[in-house]
Amino acid sequence: MNHASWESVPLSDRPGSGPAAAALDEPPTEIGHWSYPVVSPLRAPHEILALAESSGAGPVGLRTGETWTGTPPQEDFLRRVLAAHMARSRSRKGRPGRDLEPGERAVIPGTNLDMRADAAAAAGRLLAAANQALAAARGRGDEDARRTRRITVASGYRGSEHQERLWRTYFGRYYEETAAARSGLPGGPHGEAAVRHMIEVFRIPSRIAAPGYSNHQNGIAIDLLQERDPADPIRNSTRPEAVQRWRRTWFFQWLQANAGSYGFAPYEREPWHWEYRSGGAPRREAEAVEHDRWTFAEPTGWEESAEPSEAAEPEEYEGYGYGEGAGEDLDARWGPEGTPEAAEPEEGQEPTEWQEEAEGEEDQWAAEAAPGEDPYLEWEQTVWGQPESVRTEDPQWHLTTEQTDTNLPTGPFGSLVADLPGGRRFSYTFTRDDVFWAAKLVSLEAGGTDDAENAAVIWAMLNRYALFAHKDREYPTFTSFIRAYSTTLQPVLRNPKSAEAHMHDRDFVPTGGHYKGTTVPRGQLGRHLKTQAVPWSGIKPESAKRLALRALTGGLPNPGIGNATEFASTRIFWQRRNHTKAEPTRDQWLDYTKAFARHRKLRWIGDRPGLDQRANAFFVHRAAEKLPPDAVRVLVP
């Protein structure tokens, strides 16, 4: 394979080498916060944009004399991808933020890194207090504290040139990872389709912020570092197992209890990343969050550095789609078989690489679910790219599910049909397996009562499968789709974080092997396996079975949700975001639900007679908005 050799610099040749630098020197799975030297300065973001916006623009990103080891086509490809990323960022967030002037920054006391002056002073106070508390904890004999030598800083202010160096560093890896997928695209591996693939399918914007769009550039973000005994390092890595270890440390517990008094707010998914909020942070956003297609997941385990946004208002976010103009041209978006072109991930692609937050991008609207207990995350990771370790080579995922219970209905069953753009039609005939697992899903997800709320849940699943998910080769049946969606119904947990959160539980049942790139054993909870083993006669309540049977035989009308494919418990999300168990008022719930939809670029279906959406609110994806409201139907047998 012909690919660029992206130049790196040995650790010993980098500024600031030593224990702190060594702890970070594991690209690309560790956060590359060092600066790679270049022969001459990189282009400023506004210059990149000017070139990107000019017809027939010249090279973008590199200036004469810069070190480059790619072939001319590879160099040109990088420039065009960077230009597309910058143009995308600007269209969503406006012009790139400016670098802070030297007079606006100050060195963080006790380090050689700087931040915005007020943030630096606060960070110095936090570090001093943390190290004083660390000494006291060591003196008391705290086991983890005794393994921690010092608390310091890995990264503070990073200007736009630093961000472009970081972008280029990671691009070499992205180039190699996408080589196979790009080789078969129209125009070849460096054509315009390949550029779109990098931005819209591989989703570089959800991995790293474009230059000029990182919150570190505001000067209020800090990445803390624990200098530890060499035998017990704590790494600033977004690998799930590393994040879990960070959260179990003495220092993280101290931060949770004390950082707020110094003006620092946490970022849930990167325990080392904190932002100074006192005095008001600049309202300069990183580029829009780019969650993957059909979920409200809180992503975990992505591989590049992410950081939280400073925005308070959800409408300032973007994301959730195929890219610019997503949903505006449905005929172009649906492939020849009637599903979105971007819906099928490359073979072996890890789920977190489709849904990583960008460096400087966060989704505060995802549910703060307990580790390993986020069904939306499970859905996203399973439908739009599974871990290699649980894809096609996992025999348990492809086990037959034929039921021998003599009470299980034998049919005939209805057919799920969808009228898609261009006169195309999708059709699928349900089986007794589908009825069996649909009944379990309704019972688990919505309580199983025979009412409008449960009918809406099952119709959202029907819509999702008919409009989008059926094309994925891992889901040839409605049953396989249902079992991917529900954590409880998965033969093997699909999310490594879920398994890691429970791997030491007595209820955890290993199934063999490990998740790719981790030491986390694959497995499922015993109570979930017991639920899966319950026969048709044991599914409770009985109404769940009646509802599933009516739905899959054409006897359950759509309860007014149209083409909604998404549902979320925005009431619970509101409670989590506001750290309360109190119920929101109707106005609070409405405001949050509408803001949630704006953030996701979805359309809330609005109030529907007889449908209480406080348990589950329903949303239409923009790619389905232009379809007729009865595009999906279940035909009677």
Residue 106 lies inside a defined structural domain of this protein: no
Final residue belonging to a domain, choices 168, 185, 206: 206
Q: What's the pLDDT tens digit per position in 513-536?
A: 898 888 889 999 998 999 899 999
Report the pLDDT value the prediction gives residue 368, as an integer from 0 to 100.
31
CA–CA gap between residue 377 and residue 367 (Å, rounded): 10
CA–CA gap between residue 452 and residue 133 (Å, rounded): 55
Q: In degrees, to the nearest 5, what angle opens at C-alpha 54 toward C-alphas 53 and 55?
A: 120
Residue 265 lies inside a defined structural domain of this protein: no
Helix, strand, or coil here: 152?
strand
Final residue belonging to a domain, choices 173, 206, 239: 206
Report the pLDDT value the prediction gives residue 445, as an integer from 0 to 100.
67
Minimum mean pLDDT range among 129-138, 270-279, 390-399: 390-399
Contact 84, 119 (CB under 8 A): no
Query: What is the distance between the terminal CA atoms of the chain, rounded to a whole angstrom?
Result: 52
CA–CA gap between residue 186 and residue 192 (Å, rounded): 8
Report the pLDDT value the prediction gives residue 446, as an integer from 0 to 100.
64
Q: E strands within 351-472?
A: 415-420, 424-429
CA–CA gap between residue 193 and residue 56 (Å, rounded): 18
Number of residues in the chain: 637
- Residue 144 pLDDT > 50: yes
Name the token pair of 451: 């009412």
Name the token pair of 148: 């921690």
* Residue 51 belongs to domain spanning: 11-98+159-206
Q: What's the pLDDT tens digit per position in 428-477?
A: 999 999 999 999 988 886 678 888 988 999 999 999 999 988 888 888 99
Report the pLDDT value the prediction gives residue 71, as an integer from 0 to 100.
86
- Residue 632 pLDDT > 60: yes
Of the candidates 462, 464, 424, which has an alpha carbon nearest to the alpha carbon of residue 624?
A: 464
Of the candidates 108, 107, 125, 121, which has an alpha carbon nearest to the alpha carbon of residue 261?
A: 125
Report the pLDDT value the prediction gives residue 255, as an integer from 0 to 100.
95
Final residue belonging to a domain, choices 178, 206, 234: 206
Cα–Cα distance list, 287 to 97, 169, 209, 350, 360 (Å):
11, 19, 6, 23, 7
Residue 135 lies inside a defined structural domain of this protein: no
Q: What's the pLDDT tens digit per position in 201-210?
A: 888 887 777 8
- Residue 626 pLDDT > 80: yes
Q: How confident is the model at residue 240 (pLDDT cuts 50, 70, 90)?
A: confident
Answer whether 0.85 is exceeded by the pTM.
no
Residue 502 lies inside a defined structural domain of this protein: yes
CA–CA gap between residue 157 and residue 98 (Å, rounded): 12
Q: How confident is the model at residue 562 (pLDDT cuts 50, 70, 90)?
A: very high
Residue 301 lies inside a defined structural domain of this protein: no
Largest CA distance in the chain: 79
Q: What's the pLDDT tens digit per position in 496-508?
A: 888 888 888 888 9
Is residue 404 exposed (0-12), middle (13-18) or buried (19+ Cβ within 10 Å)?
exposed
Residue 584 lies inside a defined structural domain of this protein: yes
Residue 260 lies inside a defined structural domain of this protein: no
Q: What's the pLDDT tens digit per position in 193-230?
A: 999 989 988 888 877 778 888 778 888 889 999 999 99
Contact 543, 453 (CB under 8 A): no
Contact 63, 40 (CB under 8 A): yes
Q: What's the pLDDT tens digit per position in 96-125?
A: 888 999 999 999 999 999 999 999 999 999
Of the candidates 492, 430, 490, which has an alpha carbon nearest to the alpha carbon of residue 465?
A: 430
Q: Are strands 508-514 and 521-525 parallel, antiparallel or unpaired?
A: antiparallel
Q: What's the pLDDT tens digit per position in 6-15?
A: 433 332 333 3
Mean pLDDT, the chain, integer: 72
Containing 223, the helix (H) or strand (E) segment is strand 221-228
**Neighbour-count burial for 587-605, b at 16+ CB within 10 Å, e otherwise:** eebbebbbbbbbbbbbbbb
Residue 228 lies inside a defined structural domain of this protein: no
- Residue 190 pLDDT > 90: yes
**What is the domain count for the chain?**
2
Q: What's the pLDDT tens digit per position in 570-593?
A: 998 888 888 887 889 999 999 999
Report the pLDDT value the prediction gives residue 411, as an integer from 0 to 100.
84
